[in-house]
């Protein structure tokens, strides 16, 4: 069932702003820096950028063209071109956001906790080494913040005021970027931070491993919201006269710049405040929450700046979680014809039900270690390193086998020249599918301990 009238973005700027708003979120500010810190700094950054301009570009273009030519959301778009097994691609991409949004809300809850902490002047205690680990290990408090975040997301989606939030975020997003630049400058000029800048910006090829590629690829999917149907939906709202290739390029640039900036804010600070300690570099999901409070504590007006920073991060996180939940709700509505209210309530139940174990996995349930990972990391791995490569592979298959590359080119050319057409054709046929398979197989074998990469 399709929605009756499909709205469209006002033009190129409308499209770029809307897609960037959904792309820029915790993925850029929280996830990217901890992965870069863990997987070798500069080499991770280099691999990430190379993947974004090849795999990322190819997949975003394919999804957007698919959305614009069919005017449908993922499952409908797949069904337009195939009746066979490939429809599974539409299904997988619809399920992925349902598995991401619960743990996204857990991190969103942490952000609220830190916002409240700074606003109430707890700066010194938050900057201690043990504050974060004690907070996440508690059985009740993180769960409460999770629920607050879910509730905020739910209220926006149920009252249908996304447009209002979008408008606010268009103003606040640039403010976040400016604040991030100020924090970066402060961070990189601390004594000892230069080592961190080097670690982050100069690739050290001895730190390269297949895992660097696996992690960078998962991050790229996550950050650009690839392989989960959302870009198909956005493509369906894109007007025919909008220049597709250059809009995509702009979204990629904005998203990547924010991620790079976040890394520059956090990684040099690890060196300045923890002496480049390996355990801090490997801190994983907790890195931002351990390092950033130390930066603010050492700053004049750190309390106020900290509160503003976490408020802005919260807005960026909310725009993404709203868009994640909205995607899930519209899949449920389209697929089963459920009412909006019923779909929203079901999603809230699911977000809380799956979110709670993710949260408790850092404390009372830390003995539950699926595949040796914490529960949150497990969902993260399952979606980013397993389901997204499969989904992206199926998109390539759909494009090459069922739709045909000529139709994609025709769609792109409706509004402009297709400058990178040759490269696109090569990538979508060979490089991307083969690369995805290699990555998928190696990451799965790696977690099962069959190979070490
Ligand atoms: N890209 C978002 C971020 O960087 C997270 C995200 C993943 C997302 N999938 C999405 C956001 C789907 C909106 C819709 O934080």
Q: Which residues contact 98 (CB under 8 A, 6 or more apart)?
A: 328, 347, 350
State percent of the chain over pLDDT 70. Answer: 98
CA–CA separation, 263 vs 287, rounded Å? 11
Q: How large is the greatest C-alpha to C-alpha distance in the chain, in angstroms?
A: 62
CB 314 within 8 A of CB 108: yes
Of all atoms in ligand 1, which is nearest to the CA of residue 222?
A: 7
Least confident window among 158-167, 227-236, 237-246, 386-395: 158-167
CA–CA separation, 314 vs 172, rounded Å? 11
Mean pLDDT of the chain: 92
Closest-CA residue to 408 (of 59, 86, 72)? 59
Task: State pLDDT tens for residues 322-348.
Answer: 999 988 998 898 888 899 999 999 999
The CA 20 to ligand 1 mean position distance, Å, reads 10
Helices (H), ranges, 71-160: 74-81, 87-119, 123-126, 131-137, 141-158
Burial class from Cβ neighbours inside 10 Å (0-12, 13-18, 19+) for residue 242 reads buried
Structure tokens at 337: 């014809």
CB 361 within 8 A of CB 142: no
Q: Which residue's alpha carbon is nearest to atom 10 within ligand 1?
A: 225
Task: Using most ligand atoms within 8 A of CB, pick from 34, 98, 314, 320 the residue to mutate for ligand 1.
Answer: 320
Question: What is the model's pLDDT at position 6?
Answer: 61
How many of the other CB atoms lie within 10 Å of CB of 225? 28
Of all atoms in ligand 1, which is nearest to the CA of residue 30?
A: 15
Burial class from Cβ neighbours inside 10 Å (0-12, 13-18, 19+) for residue 167 reads exposed
Per-residue pLDDT band for 1 (boundaries 50, 70, 90) equals: very low
Task: State pLDDT tens for residues 83-128.
Answer: 888 889 989 999 999 999 999 999 999 999 999 999 999 899 999 9
Helix (H) or strand (E) holding 396: helix 388-397
Helix (H) or strand (E) holding 36: helix 32-38
The CA 18 to ligand 1 mean position distance, Å, reads 12
Q: Which residues contact 110 (CB under 8 A, 6 or more apart)?
A: 135, 136, 142, 145, 289
**Cα–Cα distances in Å, from 338 out to 48, 92, 153?**
39, 20, 20
Residue 413 has phi, psi (to 5 degrees) of: -75, -10
Q: Residue 7: left if φ>0, alpha if ψ -120 to 50, beta else—which one?
A: beta
Task: State pLDDT tens for residues 182-207.
Answer: 999 999 999 999 999 999 999 999 99
Task: State pLDDT tens for residues 137-163.
Answer: 999 999 999 999 999 999 998 887 777
**Of residues 83 and 135, which shows the higher confidence score?**
135
Burial class from Cβ neighbours inside 10 Å (0-12, 13-18, 19+) for residue 164 reads exposed
What DSSP assignment string belongs to 299-321?
STTHHHHHHHHHHHHHHHHHHHH
Closest-CA residue to 187 (of 278, 263, 254)? 263
Closest-CA residue to 234 (of 78, 9, 5, 3)? 9
pLDDT of 3 above 50: no
Across the range 212-239, mean pLDDT stands at 92
The CA 21 to ligand 1 mean position distance, Å, reads 9
Question: What is the model's pLDDT at position 4?
Answer: 42
Question: What is the model's pLDDT at position 7?
Answer: 65
Ligand 1 binding site (Cβ under 6 Å of any ligand atom): 22-23, 25-28, 97, 100, 222-223, 225, 228, 230, 320, 323-324, 327
């Amino acid at each position: 069932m399709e929605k009756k009238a499909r709205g469209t973005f006002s033009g190129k700027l409308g499209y770029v702003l809307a897609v960037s708003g959904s792309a820029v979120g915790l993925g850029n500010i929280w996830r990217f820096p901890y992965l870069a810190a863990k997987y070798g700094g500069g080499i991770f950054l280099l691999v990430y950028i190379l993947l974004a301009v090849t795999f990322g570009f190819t997949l975003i273009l394919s999804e957007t063209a698919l959305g614009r030519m069919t005017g449908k959301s993922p499952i409908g778009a797949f069904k337009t071109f195939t009746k066979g097994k490939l429809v599974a691609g539409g299904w997988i991409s619809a399920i992925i956001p349902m598995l991401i949004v619960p743990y996204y809300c857990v991190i969103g809850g942490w952000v609220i906790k830190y916002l409240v902490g700074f606003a109430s002047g707890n700066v010194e205690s938050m900057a201690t080494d043990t504050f974060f680990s004690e907070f996440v290990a508690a059985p009740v408090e993180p769960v409460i913040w999770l629920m607050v975040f879910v509730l905020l997301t739910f209220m926006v989606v149920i009252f249908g005021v996304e447009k209002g939030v979008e408008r606010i975020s268009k103003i606040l997003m640039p403010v976040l970027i400016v604040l991030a630049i100020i924090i970066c400058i402060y961070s990189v000029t601390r004594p000892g931070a230069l080592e961190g800048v080097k670690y982050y910006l100069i690739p050290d090829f001895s730190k390269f491993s297949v895992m660097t590629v696996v992690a960078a690829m998962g991050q790229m999917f996550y950050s650009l919201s690839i392989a989960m149907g959302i870009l198909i939906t956005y493509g369906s709202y894109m007007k025919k006269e909008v220049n597709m290739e250059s809009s995509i390029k702009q979204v990629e640039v904005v998203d990547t710049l924010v991620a790079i900036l976040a890394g520059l804010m956090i990684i040099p600070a690890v060196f300045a405040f923890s002496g480049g300690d390996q355990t801090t570099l490997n801190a994983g999901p907790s890195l931002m929450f351990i390092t950033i409070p130390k930066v603010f504590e050492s700053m004049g007006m750190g309390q106020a700046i900290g509160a503003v920073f976490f408020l802005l991060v919260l807005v960026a996180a909310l725009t993404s979680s709203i868009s994640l939940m909205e995607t899930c709700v519209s899949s449920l509505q389209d697929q089963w014809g459920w009412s909006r209210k019923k779909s929203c309530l079901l999603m809230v139940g699911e977000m809380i039900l799956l979110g709670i174990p993710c949260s408790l996995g850092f404390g009372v349930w830390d003995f539950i270690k699926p595949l040796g990972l914490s529960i949150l990391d497990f969902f993260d791995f399952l979606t980013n390193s397993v389901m997204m490569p499969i989904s992206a592979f199926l998109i390539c298959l759909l494009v090459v086998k069922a739709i045909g590359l000529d139709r994609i080119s025709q769609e792109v050319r409706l509004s402009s020249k297709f400058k990178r057409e040759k490269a696109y054709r090569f990538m979508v046929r060979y490089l991307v599918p083969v690369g995805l398979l290699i990555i998928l197989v190696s990451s799965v074998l790696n977690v099962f301990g069959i190979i070490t990469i």
